[in-house]
Amino acid sequence: MTGNALQFPISEAPAMGEPLAVAAGVYWLRMPLPFSLNHINLWLLEDQHGWTIVDTGINTKACKQLWQQVFDQHLKGKPVTQLVVTHLHPDHVGLAGWLCERWNLTLQMSRTDYMTCRVLMSDTGKQAPQAAIDFYCRAGVSEQQLKTYKSKFGGYGKGIYAMPDHYLRLQDKDTVTMADAEWQIIVGRGHAPEHVCLYCPSLNVFIAGDQLLPTISSNISVWPTEPDSDPLKEWLESCAMLQQKLPADVMVLPSHGQVFFGAHQRLQRLIDGHKKSLVKLVDACAQPQRNVDLFSQLFRREINDDVLTLAVGETQAHINYLVKQNKIQSNTADAQGAVWYQTI
Ligand SMILES: [Zn+2]
Protein backbone atom coordinates (compact mmCIF):
# COMPACT_ATOMS: atom_id res chain seq x y z
CA MET A 1 0.00 0.00 0.00
CA THR A 2 1.29 3.46 -0.93
CA GLY A 3 0.84 5.08 2.45
CA ASN A 4 1.96 2.32 4.81
CA ALA A 5 4.98 4.23 6.09
CA LEU A 6 3.00 7.45 6.45
CA GLN A 7 0.89 8.67 9.32
CA PHE A 8 -2.21 10.78 8.87
CA PRO A 9 -2.88 12.68 12.11
CA ILE A 10 -6.24 14.08 11.00
CA SER A 11 -8.48 11.24 9.95
CA GLU A 12 -11.09 13.36 8.20
CA ALA A 13 -10.49 16.28 5.84
CA PRO A 14 -12.45 19.47 6.62
CA ALA A 15 -15.66 20.18 4.71
CA MET A 16 -15.26 22.49 1.71
CA GLY A 17 -14.82 26.08 2.85
CA GLU A 18 -14.62 25.21 6.58
CA PRO A 19 -11.16 26.00 8.02
CA LEU A 20 -9.71 23.39 10.37
CA ALA A 21 -6.82 24.16 12.77
CA VAL A 22 -3.80 21.91 12.14
CA ALA A 23 -1.02 23.79 14.01
CA ALA A 24 -0.73 27.01 16.05
CA GLY A 25 -2.33 29.69 13.86
CA VAL A 26 -2.42 27.39 10.80
CA TYR A 27 -5.72 26.32 9.25
CA TRP A 28 -6.50 23.79 6.53
CA LEU A 29 -9.06 25.00 3.98
CA ARG A 30 -10.39 22.73 1.28
CA MET A 31 -11.89 23.91 -2.03
CA PRO A 32 -13.50 21.93 -4.87
CA LEU A 33 -11.92 21.32 -8.29
CA PRO A 34 -13.92 20.46 -11.40
CA PHE A 35 -11.56 17.58 -12.34
CA SER A 36 -11.18 13.94 -11.37
CA LEU A 37 -8.82 15.38 -8.78
CA ASN A 38 -11.78 16.89 -6.97
CA HIS A 39 -10.21 19.12 -4.31
CA ILE A 40 -7.27 21.32 -3.39
CA ASN A 41 -5.96 22.15 0.08
CA LEU A 42 -5.27 25.81 0.82
CA TRP A 43 -3.82 27.25 4.02
CA LEU A 44 -4.89 30.16 6.20
CA LEU A 45 -2.39 31.55 8.70
CA GLU A 46 -3.50 33.85 11.49
CA ASP A 47 -1.54 36.48 13.37
CA GLN A 48 -2.50 39.36 15.62
CA HIS A 49 -3.26 41.72 12.76
CA GLY A 50 -4.64 39.55 10.03
CA TRP A 51 -4.46 36.52 7.80
CA THR A 52 -2.10 35.09 5.21
CA ILE A 53 -3.59 32.96 2.46
CA VAL A 54 -1.40 30.30 0.84
CA ASP A 55 -2.81 29.28 -2.58
CA THR A 56 -6.16 30.37 -3.92
CA GLY A 57 -8.24 27.65 -5.61
CA ILE A 58 -9.30 27.78 -9.24
CA ASN A 59 -11.32 30.62 -10.79
CA THR A 60 -14.84 29.21 -10.47
CA LYS A 61 -18.04 30.57 -9.00
CA ALA A 62 -18.00 27.78 -6.42
CA CYS A 63 -14.56 28.76 -5.10
CA LYS A 64 -15.44 32.47 -4.98
CA GLN A 65 -18.58 31.67 -3.00
CA LEU A 66 -16.61 29.56 -0.54
CA TRP A 67 -14.06 32.36 -0.12
CA GLN A 68 -16.90 34.78 0.59
CA GLN A 69 -18.19 32.35 3.22
CA VAL A 70 -14.71 32.23 4.81
CA PHE A 71 -14.49 36.03 4.79
CA ASP A 72 -17.94 36.37 6.34
CA GLN A 73 -17.63 33.70 9.00
CA HIS A 74 -14.05 32.81 9.85
CA LEU A 75 -11.72 35.82 9.81
CA LYS A 76 -12.57 36.99 13.37
CA GLY A 77 -12.92 40.58 12.13
CA LYS A 78 -9.33 40.73 10.83
CA PRO A 79 -8.32 41.47 7.23
CA VAL A 80 -6.33 39.31 4.82
CA THR A 81 -2.87 40.91 4.74
CA GLN A 82 -0.71 38.54 2.65
CA LEU A 83 -1.15 36.19 -0.30
CA VAL A 84 1.49 33.57 -1.13
CA VAL A 85 1.11 31.28 -4.16
CA THR A 86 3.20 28.11 -4.40
CA HIS A 87 3.19 27.72 -8.19
CA LEU A 88 1.59 28.58 -11.51
CA HIS A 89 -1.08 25.88 -11.88
CA PRO A 90 -4.66 27.21 -12.08
CA ASP A 91 -5.87 25.42 -8.94
CA HIS A 92 -3.16 27.26 -6.97
CA VAL A 93 -3.06 30.69 -8.65
CA GLY A 94 -6.54 30.87 -10.21
CA LEU A 95 -8.02 33.46 -7.84
CA ALA A 96 -4.84 35.40 -7.03
CA GLY A 97 -5.94 38.46 -9.02
CA TRP A 98 -9.40 38.35 -7.47
CA LEU A 99 -8.06 38.06 -3.91
CA CYS A 100 -5.56 40.88 -4.53
CA GLU A 101 -8.37 43.14 -5.73
CA ARG A 102 -10.64 42.15 -2.88
CA TRP A 103 -8.07 42.79 -0.11
CA ASN A 104 -5.64 45.17 -1.81
CA LEU A 105 -2.80 42.64 -1.57
CA THR A 106 0.50 42.20 -3.35
CA LEU A 107 0.81 38.67 -4.69
CA GLN A 108 3.95 36.88 -3.45
CA MET A 109 5.23 34.24 -5.87
CA SER A 110 8.44 33.01 -7.51
CA ARG A 111 9.56 35.02 -10.53
CA THR A 112 9.65 32.11 -12.98
CA ASP A 113 6.17 30.93 -12.09
CA TYR A 114 4.70 34.45 -12.13
CA MET A 115 6.21 35.22 -15.56
CA THR A 116 5.39 31.79 -17.02
CA CYS A 117 1.81 32.16 -15.81
CA ARG A 118 1.49 35.50 -17.60
CA VAL A 119 2.93 33.99 -20.81
CA LEU A 120 0.66 30.94 -20.73
CA MET A 121 -2.39 33.12 -20.09
CA SER A 122 -1.59 35.07 -23.25
CA ASP A 123 -2.13 31.82 -25.24
CA THR A 124 -5.85 31.90 -24.50
CA GLY A 125 -7.76 32.74 -27.66
CA LYS A 126 -4.82 31.91 -29.93
CA GLN A 127 -4.41 28.93 -32.23
CA ALA A 128 -2.04 26.13 -31.30
CA PRO A 129 1.42 27.03 -32.69
CA GLN A 130 3.20 24.76 -35.17
CA ALA A 131 5.90 23.95 -32.60
CA ALA A 132 3.27 22.45 -30.30
CA ILE A 133 1.61 20.49 -33.11
CA ASP A 134 5.03 19.12 -34.14
CA PHE A 135 5.74 18.15 -30.51
CA TYR A 136 2.59 16.00 -30.27
CA CYS A 137 3.17 14.55 -33.78
CA ARG A 138 6.67 13.48 -32.72
CA ALA A 139 5.07 11.77 -29.70
CA GLY A 140 2.83 9.77 -32.08
CA VAL A 141 -0.64 11.02 -31.14
CA SER A 142 -3.49 10.25 -33.57
CA GLU A 143 -5.12 12.74 -35.97
CA GLN A 144 -8.21 12.75 -33.77
CA GLN A 145 -6.17 13.44 -30.61
CA LEU A 146 -4.36 16.27 -32.37
CA LYS A 147 -7.68 17.79 -33.41
CA THR A 148 -8.89 17.69 -29.81
CA TYR A 149 -5.63 19.21 -28.60
CA LYS A 150 -5.97 22.11 -31.05
CA SER A 151 -9.57 22.71 -29.98
CA LYS A 152 -8.55 22.87 -26.30
CA PHE A 153 -5.45 25.01 -26.82
CA GLY A 154 -5.24 28.00 -24.48
CA GLY A 155 -7.35 26.30 -21.81
CA TYR A 156 -4.84 27.10 -19.06
CA GLY A 157 -5.93 30.74 -18.86
CA LYS A 158 -9.61 29.85 -18.49
CA GLY A 159 -9.06 28.72 -14.89
CA ILE A 160 -7.32 31.94 -13.89
CA TYR A 161 -8.77 35.35 -12.98
CA ALA A 162 -6.84 38.27 -14.56
CA MET A 163 -3.42 38.23 -12.92
CA PRO A 164 -2.15 41.21 -10.91
CA ASP A 165 0.20 43.39 -12.99
CA HIS A 166 2.85 43.42 -10.27
CA TYR A 167 4.00 40.99 -7.63
CA LEU A 168 6.59 40.49 -4.90
CA ARG A 169 9.27 37.99 -5.79
CA LEU A 170 9.89 35.03 -3.48
CA GLN A 171 13.07 33.04 -3.92
CA ASP A 172 14.89 30.15 -2.33
CA LYS A 173 16.20 30.90 1.20
CA ASP A 174 13.94 33.97 1.65
CA THR A 175 11.86 34.04 4.79
CA VAL A 176 8.23 35.04 5.19
CA THR A 177 6.49 35.73 8.50
CA MET A 178 3.14 34.00 8.81
CA ALA A 179 1.15 33.08 11.93
CA ASP A 180 3.76 34.96 14.01
CA ALA A 181 6.44 32.49 12.95
CA GLU A 182 9.26 32.53 10.44
CA TRP A 183 8.89 30.35 7.35
CA GLN A 184 11.79 29.52 5.05
CA ILE A 185 11.21 29.39 1.32
CA ILE A 186 12.47 26.16 -0.22
CA VAL A 187 12.22 26.08 -4.01
CA GLY A 188 11.50 22.75 -5.66
CA ARG A 189 11.58 22.01 -9.39
CA GLY A 190 10.26 19.51 -11.90
CA HIS A 191 6.48 19.82 -11.36
CA ALA A 192 6.53 23.59 -11.81
CA PRO A 193 9.51 25.69 -12.93
CA GLU A 194 10.15 27.38 -9.56
CA HIS A 195 7.80 25.92 -6.97
CA VAL A 196 7.71 27.69 -3.60
CA CYS A 197 7.47 25.46 -0.52
CA LEU A 198 7.38 26.92 3.00
CA TYR A 199 9.07 25.33 6.00
CA CYS A 200 8.60 26.58 9.56
CA PRO A 201 11.28 25.22 11.94
CA SER A 202 9.56 26.47 15.11
CA LEU A 203 6.25 24.77 14.26
CA ASN A 204 7.96 21.90 12.43
CA VAL A 205 5.45 22.27 9.61
CA PHE A 206 6.07 22.11 5.85
CA ILE A 207 3.64 23.63 3.34
CA ALA A 208 4.50 21.42 0.38
CA GLY A 209 2.26 22.59 -2.45
CA ASP A 210 2.45 19.90 -5.14
CA GLN A 211 6.15 19.27 -4.45
CA LEU A 212 5.35 16.46 -1.98
CA LEU A 213 1.98 14.69 -2.03
CA PRO A 214 1.05 11.70 0.14
CA THR A 215 -0.72 9.37 -2.30
CA ILE A 216 -0.58 10.62 -5.88
CA SER A 217 2.68 11.41 -7.64
CA SER A 218 2.93 14.95 -9.02
CA ASN A 219 2.92 15.33 -12.78
CA ILE A 220 6.42 15.85 -14.19
CA SER A 221 6.04 17.05 -17.76
CA VAL A 222 7.98 18.23 -20.75
CA TRP A 223 5.98 20.91 -22.59
CA PRO A 224 6.16 21.94 -26.28
CA THR A 225 7.75 25.31 -25.42
CA GLU A 226 10.89 23.56 -24.14
CA PRO A 227 10.88 20.11 -25.77
CA ASP A 228 14.42 19.15 -24.69
CA SER A 229 14.00 20.03 -21.01
CA ASP A 230 14.81 17.49 -18.31
CA PRO A 231 12.26 18.13 -15.53
CA LEU A 232 12.59 14.60 -14.14
CA LYS A 233 16.22 15.25 -13.27
CA GLU A 234 15.15 18.46 -11.52
CA TRP A 235 12.38 16.60 -9.70
CA LEU A 236 14.67 13.80 -8.48
CA GLU A 237 17.23 16.37 -7.32
CA SER A 238 14.49 18.28 -5.49
CA CYS A 239 13.31 15.11 -3.73
CA ALA A 240 16.86 14.39 -2.55
CA MET A 241 17.30 18.03 -1.48
CA LEU A 242 14.09 17.92 0.58
CA GLN A 243 15.22 14.73 2.29
CA GLN A 244 18.32 16.67 3.37
CA LYS A 245 16.56 19.86 4.44
CA LEU A 246 13.45 18.57 6.18
CA PRO A 247 13.46 16.86 9.57
CA ALA A 248 12.11 13.31 9.46
CA ASP A 249 9.28 14.21 11.86
CA VAL A 250 8.03 17.34 10.04
CA MET A 251 4.27 17.64 9.55
CA VAL A 252 3.55 17.95 5.82
CA LEU A 253 0.66 20.07 4.53
CA PRO A 254 0.19 18.93 0.90
CA SER A 255 -2.03 20.57 -1.72
CA HIS A 256 -3.93 17.35 -2.38
CA GLY A 257 -4.81 14.51 -0.02
CA GLN A 258 -4.33 14.42 3.75
CA VAL A 259 -1.94 16.12 6.15
CA PHE A 260 0.79 13.58 6.91
CA PHE A 261 3.99 12.57 8.69
CA GLY A 262 6.66 10.53 6.91
CA ALA A 263 8.23 13.05 4.51
CA HIS A 264 11.49 11.13 4.11
CA GLN A 265 9.78 7.82 3.36
CA ARG A 266 7.39 9.45 0.91
CA LEU A 267 10.22 11.24 -0.91
CA GLN A 268 12.13 7.97 -1.15
CA ARG A 269 9.08 6.22 -2.52
CA LEU A 270 8.70 8.92 -5.18
CA ILE A 271 12.37 8.61 -6.17
CA ASP A 272 12.15 4.80 -6.27
CA GLY A 273 8.93 4.92 -8.33
CA HIS A 274 10.50 7.04 -11.04
CA LYS A 275 13.66 4.92 -11.08
CA LYS A 276 11.55 1.80 -11.52
CA SER A 277 9.69 3.47 -14.41
CA LEU A 278 12.99 4.40 -16.05
CA VAL A 279 14.16 0.77 -15.93
CA LYS A 280 10.86 -0.36 -17.45
CA LEU A 281 11.23 2.12 -20.32
CA VAL A 282 14.79 1.01 -21.08
CA ASP A 283 13.56 -2.60 -21.22
CA ALA A 284 10.56 -1.71 -23.41
CA CYS A 285 12.81 0.21 -25.82
CA ALA A 286 14.69 -2.99 -26.71
CA GLN A 287 12.12 -2.76 -29.54
CA PRO A 288 11.65 0.76 -31.00
CA GLN A 289 8.81 2.66 -29.29
CA ARG A 290 7.11 6.01 -29.71
CA ASN A 291 6.15 8.18 -26.74
CA VAL A 292 2.52 7.02 -26.92
CA ASP A 293 3.56 3.34 -27.03
CA LEU A 294 5.11 3.74 -23.58
CA PHE A 295 1.96 4.88 -21.72
CA SER A 296 1.20 1.35 -20.57
CA GLN A 297 4.63 1.16 -18.88
CA LEU A 298 4.00 4.33 -16.85
CA PHE A 299 0.28 4.63 -16.21
CA ARG A 300 -2.22 2.19 -14.83
CA ARG A 301 -5.19 4.27 -15.96
CA GLU A 302 -6.55 4.62 -19.48
CA ILE A 303 -5.24 7.81 -21.14
CA ASN A 304 -8.23 9.76 -22.47
CA ASP A 305 -8.26 13.23 -24.07
CA ASP A 306 -8.53 14.94 -20.68
CA VAL A 307 -5.10 13.74 -19.59
CA LEU A 308 -3.38 13.23 -22.94
CA THR A 309 -1.01 16.22 -22.72
CA LEU A 310 -0.09 15.28 -19.14
CA ALA A 311 0.62 11.70 -20.22
CA VAL A 312 2.69 12.71 -23.26
CA GLY A 313 4.54 15.27 -21.13
CA GLU A 314 5.32 12.85 -18.33
CA THR A 315 6.40 10.13 -20.75
CA GLN A 316 8.62 12.62 -22.57
CA ALA A 317 10.14 13.62 -19.22
CA HIS A 318 11.23 10.01 -18.68
CA ILE A 319 12.43 9.74 -22.31
CA ASN A 320 14.47 12.96 -22.14
CA TYR A 321 16.07 11.83 -18.88
CA LEU A 322 17.12 8.52 -20.47
CA VAL A 323 18.36 10.21 -23.66
CA LYS A 324 20.54 12.57 -21.63
CA GLN A 325 21.85 9.60 -19.64
CA ASN A 326 22.72 7.85 -22.94
CA LYS A 327 20.41 4.94 -22.14
CA ILE A 328 18.13 5.32 -25.18
CA GLN A 329 18.40 7.16 -28.48
CA SER A 330 15.93 8.48 -31.02
CA ASN A 331 15.67 7.65 -34.68
CA THR A 332 14.65 10.22 -37.28
CA ALA A 333 10.92 10.76 -37.49
CA ASP A 334 8.79 8.31 -39.50
CA ALA A 335 6.39 9.22 -42.34
CA GLN A 336 3.77 10.39 -39.79
CA GLY A 337 6.33 12.60 -38.03
CA ALA A 338 6.63 10.33 -34.97
CA VAL A 339 9.97 9.70 -33.29
CA TRP A 340 10.93 6.15 -32.27
CA TYR A 341 13.23 5.47 -29.33
CA GLN A 342 15.51 2.48 -28.89
CA THR A 343 17.82 1.24 -26.14
CA ILE A 344 21.50 1.94 -26.79
ZN1 LIG B 1 0.57 21.77 -9.58
**What's the pLDDT at 4?**
54
| Inside any domain, residue 336 | no
Cα-to-centroid distance, 229 and ligand 1 (Å): 18
- Cα-flanking dihedrals φ and ψ of residue 77, to 5°? 75, 5
What's the total number of domains in the chain? 1
> Which residues in 139-275 belong to E strands, given as ranges?
168-169, 175-178, 181-188, 195-200, 205-209, 251-254, 260-261
Radius of gyration of the chain (CA): 20
- Amino acid 48: pLDDT: 96
What's residue 37's pLDDT? 87
In-domain check, residue 221: yes
Distance 293 CA to ligand 1 centre (A): 26
Expressed in angstroms and rounded, the spacing between residue 70 Cα and the centre of ligand 1 is 23
For ligand 1, the distance from its centroid to the CA atom of residue 307, given in whole angstroms, is 14
Please give the distance, rounded to the nearest whole angstrom, from the Cα atom of residue 184 to the centre of ligand 1.
20
Distance 84 CA to ligand 1 centre (A): 15
C-alpha 244 – ligand 1 centre gap (Å)? 23
- Separation of CA 122 and ligand 1 centre (Å): 19
Residue 257 · residue 215 · CB < 8 Å: yes
Residue 274 within any structural domain of the chain: yes
CATH assignment of the domain containing 168: 3.60.15.10
Distance from the alpha carbon of residue 287 to the mean position of ligand 1, in angstroms: 34
CA of 111 to the centre of ligand 1 (A): 16
Centre of ligand 1 to C-alpha 46, Å, is 25
Chain-centre distance of CA 161, in angstroms? 18
Centre of ligand 1 to C-alpha 176, Å, is 21
Domain membership flag for residue 338:
no
Instruction: Tell me if 322 is assigned to some domain.
Output: no
CA of 75 relative to ligand 1 center, distance in Å: 27
333 found inside a domain: no
If you measure from the C-alpha of residue 87 to the centroid of ligand 1, how many angstroms do you get, rounded to a whole number? 7
294 DSSP assignment:
G
Instruction: Identify whether 60 is part of a domain.
Output: yes
> Cα(209) to centroid of ligand 1, in Å?
7
In this prediction, residue 316 carries a pLDDT of 98
In a domain? residue 186: yes
CA of 310 to the centre of ligand 1 (A): 12
Q: Which domain holds residue 217?
A: 20-282
**pLDDT, one tens digit for every residue, the chain (344 residues):** 344 589 999 989 999 999 999 999 999 999 999 888 899 999 999 999 999 999 999 999 999 999 999 999 999 999 999 999 999 999 999 999 999 999 999 999 999 999 999 999 999 999 999 999 999 999 999 999 999 999 999 999 999 999 999 999 999 999 999 999 999 999 999 999 999 999 999 999 999 999 999 999 999 999 999 999 999 999 999 999 999 999 999 999 999 999 999 999 999 999 999 999 999 999 999 999 999 999 999 999 899 999 999 999 999 999 999 999 999 999 878 999 999 999 99
For residue 80, what are the β-bridge partners?
51
- Asked if 79 contacts 56 with a C-beta cutoff of 8 angstroms, the reply is no
Rounded to the nearest whole angstrom, what is the distance from the C-alpha of residue 192 to the centroid of ligand 1? 7
Number of H helices, E strands in the chain: 10, 15
